[in-house]
Amino acid sequence: MPTSLRRYLPEGAICDLVTPFRDGEVDRVGLMTLIEWQIRSGISGLVVCGEASEAPTLSREERAAVIGLAADVVDHQVPLLAGTGTNSTETTIGLTRQAQALGADAAVVVTPYYNKPSQEGLFRHFEKLAAAVDLPIIVCNAPGRTAVDLSTRTLERLASIPSIVGVMDCTGDMTRFAGLPPALRDRFRHLSGHDATACPFFLCGGSGSISAGANVAPRLFAAMHSALRTGNVDAAYALQARLNPLVQALEKEGTPAAIKHALSLVLPLSAEVRLPITAAALETQAEIRMALSSLPECGERHRRAG
């Protein structure tokens, strides 16, 4: 990890990248195209093998190939984060070490899912991970996907571990975030994982977002966070309002089928997904096309498609 990023603190618009597939394989050229477009569009950071990536369908070798290729293409132009969370502490440690060796600048680690650990188990999981790796860690709390929810007390305990630098909150619950003790909000970085509430989250003390929608609209998400950082709240909310129809369409069927369909309209990428994910429904595809028609910043290819 570069010395300049050893104390990386996440902020701004960070894109949670999908993994392009073609003919059943990881599309390396497509991934390069997507990463280069994101960087040109002003995104603040990139996540591979994260929530939007279909990571559970990737083999360990494919994960390594994706992270390694991304590190080569990014080449330290922006921070590169890798999703490494599983429901096994030892497996998570192994994947995080692998990500570090391949050039990731930080790890985004979802809480263990399915086996529903206690709050003490969640704390010990992250405590052991932090002791085993030399990489900044962003905890991802997504109870809608994992069936476990980090309590405020557990967050306070995790915030005392120096290498745990932030939390990605995917709940979209603004009252919950606004109600955190000020000391906890100030102790480490809080990132929105819910695109529809990115603006109010930032204004309540957040430092940015890890966004799946930014796959499709990186310029607009980057501009929105730039406006927030400079205090231009009206401009930020205007951008959020423009993005909302697209965000709603992309979230209709969950990540990432709708995002991949949208990307296939703006970049030369396939919308291919792996089971158990299935392609976006025709109704969702129509909503995406309509939303893109009012967002020229996303590109012009959708005007020529179909």
What pLDDT, on a 0 to 100 scale, did the predictor assign at position 304?
A: 40
What pLDDT, on a 0 to 100 scale, did the predictor assign at position 164?
A: 96
What pLDDT, on a 0 to 100 scale, did the predictor assign at position 171?
A: 92
- Which residue ranges form the domains of the chain, and what is each CATH number? 10-251 (3.20.20.70)
Query: For residue 280, what is the DSSP state?
Result: P
In this structure, which amino acid lies at residue 192?
S
What pLDDT, on a 0 to 100 scale, did the predictor assign at position 301?
A: 53
What pLDDT, on a 0 to 100 scale, did the predictor assign at position 300?
A: 46
What pLDDT, on a 0 to 100 scale, did the predictor assign at position 236?
A: 98
3-state secondary structure of 40: helix
pLDDT profile of the chain (306 residues), mean per 10: 57 98 98 98 98 97 99 98 98 98 98 97 99 97 95 93 95 83 81 95 94 98 98 98 97 91 97 97 97 87 42
The model carries a pTM of 0.94
What pLDDT, on a 0 to 100 scale, did the predictor assign at position 173?
A: 87
Q: Give the tokens for residue 100.
A: 């570090």
Could you give the count of Cα atoms lying within 13 Å of 211 in the half-sphere of its Cβ? 36
What pLDDT, on a 0 to 100 scale, did the predictor assign at position 180?
A: 82
What pLDDT, on a 0 to 100 scale, did the predictor assign at position 219?
A: 98
What pLDDT, on a 0 to 100 scale, did the predictor assign at position 4?
A: 36
N-to-C CA span, the chain:
44
What pLDDT, on a 0 to 100 scale, did the predictor assign at position 7?
A: 67
Looking at the chain, list the stretches that DSSP marks H as alpha helix, in order from N- to C-terminal side.
28-40, 60-74, 89-102, 119-132, 143-146, 152-159, 174-178, 182-187, 198-203, 218-229, 233-251, 257-266, 282-293, 301-304
Q: How far is CA 246 from the centre of its chain?
A: 17
Q: For residue 202, what are the contacts with CB-CB under 8 A and spacing of at least 6?
A: 192, 208, 209, 225, 228, 236
